[in-house]
């Protein structure tokens, strides 16, 4: 499969009054065409910051992208059949604006606060169409109603002039999705889109995105801290910890054969069906390192049950432990398993 996005060694820092926060210290991953990549990790591990860095959505100052490359292999370039990748990080303001909402759509977590409360739903969708596709107001309205129907909002024509607060949580998230897919993007970045929803609605939204992905031939990056969601929908999973990518693997490989102690611990913390209430859930001792002064050794060392001498001396680089399965650990835990 052809790559559509390749991120190399992305470094983002926040310059705050308390000091420099090393939010991302060299994150690398890639995304294939038509693939769903799940990104998991605890709060503050840099999942969202990674995505926001790519689209220049972080407030600068305090944020600064200090290194790395993010090559975007766009193949729906109508103007010129140029398949040379663009480095998203090097784009200027107007360059990145064309990508945002046009080639890469963003779905945010809490659709109530992510939609403008004083603007109609329809206007918020058509705004994007007018901006990117140069539609007239009427064309954009027609298309917006189609989009609303497409994402499963009944009576779309009537709902066009409704305000976000008149919608239910699920409908608002569907609206967000309509905004994100409005310009037929190649990549959808979903930043915890189901966290604020209850389980049944969550399932509907996941199903909707899966369907759209197939029908519109998009790639999806799905950020979550729900490993269950990832298991159900992702093709590959990236595990993040303290601003670095610690493991990336095809989904089955990750769940059955995790290669990084952090992933192993994370999976151990999941409740298992049929065993509820029989024993305590495992937890990971300690807390993530303070990103104001990140250690010069393995970030996970002081929480790791297997930490050895060399773990306290250097930061482990990512190694391929089986085809397509990389882990940033000195030891090969996957190999030790049957």
Partner 1 sequence: MQKYIFSRLVQSLCILFGVLFIVFFMMQVTGDPVSLLLSRHATPQEVEEMREELGYNRPILIQFTSFVSRAVVGDFGRSFRHKQPAMDLIIERLPATVELAVTALLISLILGIPLGLISGSNPGSFWDVISRGTGLLGQTIPNFWLALILILVFSVNLGWFPSFGRETWHFMGLTLPTRSVILPAFSLSLFTMGQLIRFTRSAVLEIRSEDYVRTAYSKGIPDRKVYIRHILRNASIPLISIVGVQFGYLLSGSIYIETIFSWPGLGNLLAESIGNRDFALVQAIAFFSSFVVVTLNLLTDIAYGLADPRIRYE
Helix 169-181 and helix 137-150: axis angle, to 10°? 130
Among 7, 10, 114, 190, binds partner 1 (CB under 8 A): 114
Q: Which residues pair with 70 in a beta bridge?
A: 7
CA distances from 139 to 24, 72, 135, 145 (A): 42, 30, 6, 10
Q: Which is nearer to partner 1, 7 or 176 (CB)?
A: 176
Q: Which of helix, strand or coil describes residue 111?
A: helix
Q: Which is nearer to partner 1, 171 or 176 (CB)?
A: 176
Among 3, 64, 69, 97, binds partner 1 (CB under 8 A): 97
Nearest to 14 by CA among 68, 69, 48, 65: 65
User: Which residue bears the tokens 């990748």?
Assistant: 85
Q: Which residues contact 270 (CB under 8 A, 6 or more apart)?
A: 227, 228, 281
Q: Does 325 bind partner 1 (CB under 8 A)?
A: no
Site mask, partner 1, residues 124-163, x = CB under 8 A? ---xx--xx------------------------------x
How many residues sit in the footprint of partner 1 (CB under 8 A)?
A: 29
Q: Does 28 bind partner 1 (CB under 8 A)?
A: no
Among 119, 308, 317, 335, binds partner 1 (CB under 8 A): 119
Query: Which segment (2-10, 114-122, 241-249, 260-268) binds partner 1 by CB under 8 A?
Result: 114-122
Among 4, 37, 65, 179, binds partner 1 (CB under 8 A): 179
Q: Does 64 bind partner 1 (CB under 8 A)?
A: no
At closest approach, how far in Å is the CB of 187 from partner 1? 12
Q: Which of residues 206-265 bind partner 1 (CB under 8 A)?
A: none
Report whether 302 contacts 286 (CB < 8 A): yes
Nearest to 231 by CA among 276, 266, 277: 266
Nearest to 188 by CA among 210, 208, 218, 214: 218
Give the footprint of partner 1 on this chain (CB under 8 A). Answer: 55, 57, 59, 93, 97-102, 106, 108, 110, 113-119, 127-128, 131-132, 163, 165-166, 176, 179
């Amino acid at each position: 499969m052809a790559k559509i996005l390749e991120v190399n060694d992305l470094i983002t820092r926040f310059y705050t009054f308390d000091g420099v926060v090393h939010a991302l210290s060299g994150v690398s991953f890639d995304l294939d065409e038509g693939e769903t990549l799940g990104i998991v990790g605890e709060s503050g591990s840099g999942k969202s910051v990674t995505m926001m860095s790519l689209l220049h959505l972080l407030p600068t100052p305090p944020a600064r992208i200090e290194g790395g490359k993010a090559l975007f292999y766009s193949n729906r370039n109508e103007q010129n059949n140029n398949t040379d990748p663009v480095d998203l990080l090097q784009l200027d303001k107007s360059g990145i604006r064309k990508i945002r909402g046009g080639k890469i759509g963003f779905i945010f977590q809490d659709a109530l606060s992510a939609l403008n409360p004083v603007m109609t739903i329809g206007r918020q969708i058509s705004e994007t169409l007018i901006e990117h596709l140069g539609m007239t107001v009427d064309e954009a309205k027609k298309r917006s109603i189609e989009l609303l129907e497409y994402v499963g909002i009944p009576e779309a024509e009537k709902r066009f002039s409704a305000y976000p607060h008149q919608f239910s949580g699920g409908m608002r998230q569907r609206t967000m999705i309509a905004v994100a897919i409005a310009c037929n993007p190649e990549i959808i970045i979903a930043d915890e889109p189901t966290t604020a929803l209850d389980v049944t609605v969550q399932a509907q939204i996941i199903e909707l995105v899966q369907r759209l992905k197939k029908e519109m031939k998009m790639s999806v990056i799905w950020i979550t801290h729900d490993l269950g969601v990832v298991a159900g929908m992702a093709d590959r999973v990236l595990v993040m910890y303290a601003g670095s990518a610690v493991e990336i693997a095809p989904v089955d490989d990750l769940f059955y054969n995790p290669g990084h102690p952090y992933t192993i611990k994370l999976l151990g913390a999941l409740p298992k069906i049929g065993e509820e209430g029989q024993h305590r859930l495992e937890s990971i001792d300690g807390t993530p390192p303070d990103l104001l002064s990140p250690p010069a050794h393995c970030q996970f060392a002081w929480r790791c049950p297997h930490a050895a001498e060399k773990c306290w001396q250097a930061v482990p680089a990512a190694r391929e432990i089986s085809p397509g399965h990389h882990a940033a650990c000195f030891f090969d835990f996957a190999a030790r398993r049957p």
